[in-house]
A and B are shown apart, each in its own frame.
Chain A
Amino acid sequence: MGLVSKPPARDLFKRYDAEEKAALAKRYTPEHMEAIEAAEEAIDPDDLNERGVIRSDWGSLNYLDDFSQMQPTIDKRIKREGPVDPKERLMTPEEYAQHHKDYFMKIMDENDVPVDFDRDDPEQLKKLRPNRLDEFKSWDEVPDMIGSNGPLKSESMLAPGVPRDFESAVDDPENARKAEEDEDPRDPDGRYALLMKQTGLTMDEIGSYKIKVLVHHRVVNQTRLGKIQSQYILAIAGNGNGRLGLGQAKGQEMEDTQANARIQAIRNMQPVPRYEERTIFGEVEAKVSAVEVKLMSRPPGFGLRCQHLIFEMARAAGIQDLAARVPRSRNKMNTVKAAYEALMKQRIPDEIARGRGKKLVDVRKVYYGGRV
């Protein structure tokens, strides 16, 4: 089970050897070095091995990042390395134009116009260089600053890590044909195509979600031409690991409406706060119309002792221990909505403690090295 065959802690947390210490001494003062050595003495590797566990609490990152790659939405852009060049300046428009001209001239030299070039033939026109792709690339590559050692490319205004995929920006019949060939057999009608395009989800991910239609009934609109019937569908989608969404759809055709409700549910997936990834935080109540739902947290191994609609929602969200009461009206649609509202409006103990300015410790994470 990995408990017996664990390597000794000293192997995991090695002491600095003489070479490493010499390298450290170059950067740190003797006082610092003394402090580093004292810290090395003071910290027990066995204790570090017990306590230095990977965080799994609320608020920890849900991935292990070694920070070796840039993430455009999280990271700040990188400043150019090295010392600041005092002579650095922007190019004058003439210089800038000259550099662009050189860039394009080079391309033209490398790609000679064929002798039998026909300007009216669109096929041949496409092969002519420089083309639109070269224009895009020139913005990214041609320098726009002048330093003491010649022309420089200034820092990009784009966020770091934004892919410089200029090929896809240019219309390419080859790519379009490829996309058609890649059509997934699990989604022959292309119902999920737009969803996948907009959210970046793959068919594998969509297939792994727990999607279920919980409520469907007939609704009628009375017009002067008569009653117009349609179907109302309420679906839930969850990833079984802390995300849950509700989707509603109305329409004439049963199948289309169901698909729409499912897609809406996937779109609306939101994180549900879970205590220890198995139950909820304390007791929550919510009311939608005449339906009141009360959800209660329960100890490990209790199971999902609640009515079928809330059971399905809890299972989709990845909650294993839960009790629920629906004391008043039990309308199906409103029960689902109220249960969703209750799950979403849980108060997190950490947030309450911050609001009150109190220190809060979960004792279950203190004993047994946090491995309960």
Chain B
Amino acid sequence: MSLVHLANVCSHLQNASKARLGLTSIPSTNQLLTLSLALQSSGFLSSVTRAGLTPPLNTNITYEPEPVTQENVSSRRLWLGLKYWDNRPVLSEMSMVSKPTKRVWMDVESLGRIVRGREAGFVRGLTRPGECLFVSTDRGVMEARECVEKRVGGMLLCRVL
């Protein structure tokens, strides 16, 4: 799976927060969808909705997205609601750890070190308050702390602050 889309999304979300957008869209892929849902459950995003090229009219709970079909799959986008608190974006920094040309995998022991703020395998620890690292595992995309809790390792995707 290519990481090029992810790299673009990292930059795009940083730019969108700096521009104080309330809603933005990213390409709709399974990898980005699972990452967005992980970001949402960590509290970085207010909503994740799949819709067409125009933003969904209503992003509340009762909204039912159009089913994805052969005809409309190419025009699907993921619409992400961005959060702001105390006049600051909740998601302010997002950067890749694995790069398209250099993937980084990590086992639980090393992830544990990173979560505790130590360096492991050329990856800096999570030392800044509220910093999160998202990991793609065979149980889906998870936050690094959750990975350590569930004893699974995986490929490091991006760090978010």
Q: Tell me whether A296 is interfacial, beta carbon within 8 Å.
A: yes
Q: Tell me whether A341 is interfacial, beta carbon within 8 Å.
A: no
User: CB-nearest residue of chain B relative to A285?
Assistant: B128
Contact flag A351-B43 (CB < 8 Å), given A282-B128, A283-B128? no
Contacts of A351 in B (CB 8 A): 85-86
A144, B83: Cα distance in complex, Å: 53
Decide: B83 and A355 in contact? CB cutoff 8 A.
yes
Decide: B129 and A347 in contact? CB cutoff 8 A.
yes
A284, B161: Cα distance in complex, Å: 12
User: CB-nearest residue of chain A relative to B42?
Assistant: A356
A105, B150: Cα distance in complex, Å: 88
Contacts of B42 in A (CB 8 A): 356, 358
Q: Tell me whether B44 is interfacial, beta carbon within 8 Å.
A: yes
User: CB-nearest residue of chain B relative to A358?
Assistant: B43
Q: Which of A296, A346, A349, A355 contacts B85 (CB 8 A)?
A: A355
Decide: B129 and A281 in contact? CB cutoff 8 A.
yes
Q: How many residues of B contact A (CB 8 A)?
A: 12
User: CB-nearest residue of chain B relative to A351?
Assistant: B86
Nearest CB of B to A314, in Å: 18
User: CB-nearest residue of chain A relative to B127?
Assistant: A283
Q: How many residues of A contact B (CB 8 A)?
A: 17
Interface residues of A in 345-359 (CB under 8 A from B): 346-349, 351-358
Q: How many A-B residue pairs have CB under 8 A?
A: 36
Contacts of A352 in B (CB 8 A): 129-130
Decide: A349 and B130 in contact? CB cutoff 8 A.
yes
Per-residue interface assignment for chain A, residues 354 to 366, with 1 indicating a CB less than 8 Å from any chain B CB and 0 otherwise:
1111100000000
Decide: A355 and B43 in contact? CB cutoff 8 A.
yes
Q: Tell me whether B155 is interfacial, beta carbon within 8 Å.
A: no
User: CB-nearest residue of chain B relative to A346?
Assistant: B129
User: CB-nearest residue of chain B relative to A347?
Assistant: B129
Contacts of B44 in A (CB 8 A): 356
Per-residue interface assignment for chain B, residues 82 to 105, with 1 indicating a CB less than 8 Å from any chain A CB and 0 otherwise:
010110101000000000000000
A347, B42: Cα distance in complex, Å: 17
Decide: B43 and A296 in contact? CB cutoff 8 A.
no
A356, B89: Cα distance in complex, Å: 10
User: CB-nearest residue of chain A relative to B92?
Assistant: A347
A281, B42: Cα distance in complex, Å: 20
Contact flag A357-B43 (CB < 8 Å), given A349-B129, A352-B130? yes
User: CB-nearest residue of chain B relative to A275?
Assistant: B129
A283, B117: Cα distance in complex, Å: 10
A338, B85: Cα distance in complex, Å: 25
Contacts of B43 in A (CB 8 A): 355-358
A348, B88: Cα distance in complex, Å: 13
Decide: B90 and A282 in contact? CB cutoff 8 A.
no
- Residue of A281, A284, A348, A355 with most chain B CB atoms under a 10 A cut-off: A355
User: CB-nearest residue of chain B relative to A357?
Assistant: B43
- Residue of B42, B83, B127 with most chain A CB atoms under a 10 A cut-off: B127
Interface residues of B in 126-151 (CB under 8 A from A): 127-130
A282, B125: Cα distance in complex, Å: 12
Interface residues of B in 33-88 (CB under 8 A from A): 42-44, 83, 85-86, 88
Nearest CB of B to A361, in Å: 14
A2, B39: Cα distance in complex, Å: 49
Per-residue interface assignment for chain A, residues 327 to 349, with 1 indicating a CB less than 8 Å from any chain B CB and 0 otherwise:
00000000000000000001111
Nearest CB of A to B108, in Å: 21
- Residue of A284, A348, A352 with most chain B CB atoms under a 10 A cut-off: A352
Contact flag A347-B130 (CB < 8 Å), given A355-B85, A356-B44? yes
Decide: B90 and A356 in contact? CB cutoff 8 A.
yes
Nearest CB of A to B139, in Å: 21
Nearest CB of A to B104, in Å: 21
A40, B61: Cα distance in complex, Å: 44
Contacts of B88 in A (CB 8 A): 355
Contacts of A281 in B (CB 8 A): 129
Nearest CB of B to A295, in Å: 11
Interface residues of A in 277-330 (CB under 8 A from B): 281-284, 296
In order of increasing CB-CB distance, the 10 nearest A-B pairs are: A356-B43, A355-B85, A282-B129, A352-B130, A283-B127, A355-B90, A357-B43, A283-B128, A282-B128, A349-B129
Given contacts A346-B129, A353-B130, 12 further A-B contacts (CB under 8 A): A281-B129, A282-B128, A283-B127, A283-B128, A347-B130, A351-B86, A352-B129, A354-B85, A355-B90, A356-B42, A356-B43, A356-B83
- The contact sample of 13 A-B pairs, CB cut-off 8 A, is A282-B127, A283-B128, A347-B130, A349-B129, A352-B129, A352-B130, A354-B85, A355-B85, A355-B88, A355-B90, A356-B43, A356-B90, A358-B43
Interface residues of A (CB under 8 A from B): 281-284, 296, 346-349, 351-358
